[in-house]
Structure 1
Amino acid sequence: MATSSFRAPDEAVIAHACRVAEVAPDLPIVLSIIPQNAGNTLSSAVVATIAARCSNVVGLKDRTEISMPASLYNGIRRPLTGAV
């Protein structure tokens, strides 16, 4: 799930991600941070909140230059890098 190309408050991004996870409970969800293509980014707090609320969020594709500490991933898999 990529962040939107439109600016949105963190709570709206969290609500959107959780809704996607909710309607597809049997599918693994991978969050995607691609700042050059998005109006939003996913902060470590947003990633941690989504992961805590959505059990089927299993990964994070992080294309930023800065990596978040592993402790903030809150149980989701290590970030993916490169083209997936």
Structure 2
Amino acid sequence: MFITDHAHGDSSAQQQTMAPDDRPLYSKGPVTIGDRVWICEHAIILPNVTIGDGAIIAAGAVVTKDVPPGCVAAGNPARVVRRIVED
């Protein structure tokens, strides 16, 4: 799995002349992961995303938007494919 909250530089003309490794790191927003979250293998969670309590992130999913509590998210970009209902 890969979780990140930062990027190498921005898209300004000045930074486009620099190699990516030379650009300063900056945060694009926090990643918040709730309790009892299951993140499967090779999932990617990008900046400024909240994953709610009890959610499941499918293998290989690329999470670019918030995932509500108790939901299964899958795909690229990830989307909610199922809501988990407890009896």
TM-score (norm 1): 0.21
Return the structure number with greater relative CO, CA threshold 8 A, min gap 6.
1
Comparing both structures, which one devotes a greater share of its residues to helix? 1
Larger Rg: 2
TM-score of the superposition, structure 2-length normalised? 0.21
